[in-house]
Amino acid sequence: MKFNTKAIHAGQKPEETTGAVMPPIFQTSTYAQKAPNDHQGYDYARVGNPTRTSLENLIAGLEEADECACFASGVAAIDGIMKTLRPGDHVISTNDLYGGTYRLFTQVFEPYGIEFSFVDMTDIQEVESAFQNNTKLVWMETPTNPLLRIIDIKAVTKLTRSRNILSIVDNTFASPYLQRPLTLGADAVMHSTTKYLGGHSDAIGGAVATSNKELMEKLRFQIKTSGAVPGPMDCYLILRGIKTLHVRVQRSVENAKKIASFLNEHPKVGEVFYPGLESHPQHDIASQQMDDFGAMVSFSLKDDSIEKASEFMSKTGIFTLAESLGGVESLISHPASMTHGSIPKEVREKAGLKDSLIRLSVGIEDVDDLIKDLNQAF
């Protein structure tokens, strides 16, 4: 099956008792058993729910994974993965990381004894020299947030595979429509399904897809034991959103490309960060490992200050000033004070995150209106 067909049909079949074409929202906490432990595959809804199973099967299909486990949020999915580690284990991660992931790593797991090295993963030499005897996991995020740098997934997984170390890719920014990390050698893919997969900014969720049985067993244990599970209604909303993933992302990318070229030529713009631009330092890697360049565009102002950026962002009308991304509507945000506010200023600057950096999540509105909106804000 090709991707566009899978987005609608992967792992889906009409519901067995009624033939309902769409998966019902199984709003229940428990399931009747005929005799102790004689049940139909579900015993308690923390452990499993048929609406959640439908969603898990669909995401597994899109990521070319054997299985998927869904969580209450993206960070709950990351939390579930990190809890498979033990004190004294070491993790290598990118220094240009989603702010919430950085906070979880440094403020929750570091105090519990997990060690982290945050390196510039666009430099494969830096990744290679970060390995230690106790390294157990390499955490990638590509394209990175908010600088849209590209990590060479194949090159990194070559290093992890030869050392028998797990590699995980946060694939939230690309979505499986544009990038399928398991086919590039990664052991697992993590998603904030809140973003492109859900696509309508109306639900929070997370997922991990993998064909690694041992890892999946540990994740299912985490779900059962720690209980960060998504409710059936949210699973349904995300499942419904995924059915138009290919159509939405395709249009968003078309719009993003036009906006990136518009910004690239604007006299008040400092630098444009978009992997689709030939000037982007990892444009070639992006062309190889992604089917297209995504719909996130970041740019700085020539006049680099928080004040100028704030002024710009309060003037846009169609671009709504809000955190998050990946919905049908266009959003604008200011990483230095919003998503990355929890990263210290020195760390931000070291990673190249300027005060005036503005991040766009380009939606599926008419691109002429979007460009007009940005133009009047300058």
Report the catalytic residues.
Answer: 46, 98, 170, 195
Of the two residues 201 and 316, which places its CB atom closer to ligand PLP in the complex?
Answer: 201
Distance from C-alpha of 309 to C-alpha of 304, rounded to nearest angstrom: 8
| Closest chain position to ligand PLP (CB) | 74
Beta carbons within 8 Å of 18's beta carbon, 6+ residues apart: 24
Q: Is 119 helix (H, G, I), strand (E, B) or coil?
A: strand
Q: What is the DSSP letter of 35?
A: B
**How many alpha carbons lie under 13 Å from residue 2 in its C-beta half-sphere?**
2
Binding mask 21-60 for ligand PLP (x = CB under 6 A): ----------------------------------------
* Binding residue (CB under 6 A) for ligand PLP from 10, 23, 52, 98: 98
Binding mask 159-198 for ligand PLP (x = CB under 6 A): -----------x-xx------------------x-xx---
* Binding residue (CB under 6 A) for ligand PLP from 48, 50, 61, 74: 74
HEC profile of 304-342: CCHHHHHHHHHHCCCCEECCCCCCCCCEEECCCCCCCCC
Q: Is 57 exposed, middle or buried (0-12, 13-18, 19+ CB in 10 A)?
A: middle
Q: Which residue has the tokens 């220094």?
A: 95
298 binds ligand PLP (CB under 6 A): no
The H or E element containing residue 191 is strand 188-192
* Binding residue (CB under 6 A) for ligand PLP from 51, 101, 135, 330: 101
Q: Is 207 helix (H, G, I), strand (E, B) or coil?
A: strand
Distance from C-alpha of 238 to C-alpha of 10, rounded to nearest angstrom: 14
Q: What are phi and psi of 365, to 5 degrees?
A: -70, 180
Q: Nearest approach, Cβ of 84 to ligand PLP (angstroms)?
A: 18
Q: What is the footprint of ligand PLP within residues 334-353 (CB under 6 A)?
A: none
Q: Nearest approach, Cβ of 31 to ligand PLP (angstroms)?
A: 28
Q: Is 279 helix (H, G, I), strand (E, B) or coil?
A: coil
Of the two residues 120 and 141, which places its CB atom closer to ligand PLP in the complex?
Answer: 141
Using the contact rule CB under 6 A, the part of the chain among 21-29, 69-77, 233-241, 270-278 near ligand PLP is: 69-77
Q: Which residues bind ligand PLP (CB under 6 A)?
A: 73-75, 98, 100-101, 141, 145, 170, 172-173, 192, 194-195, 204, 206
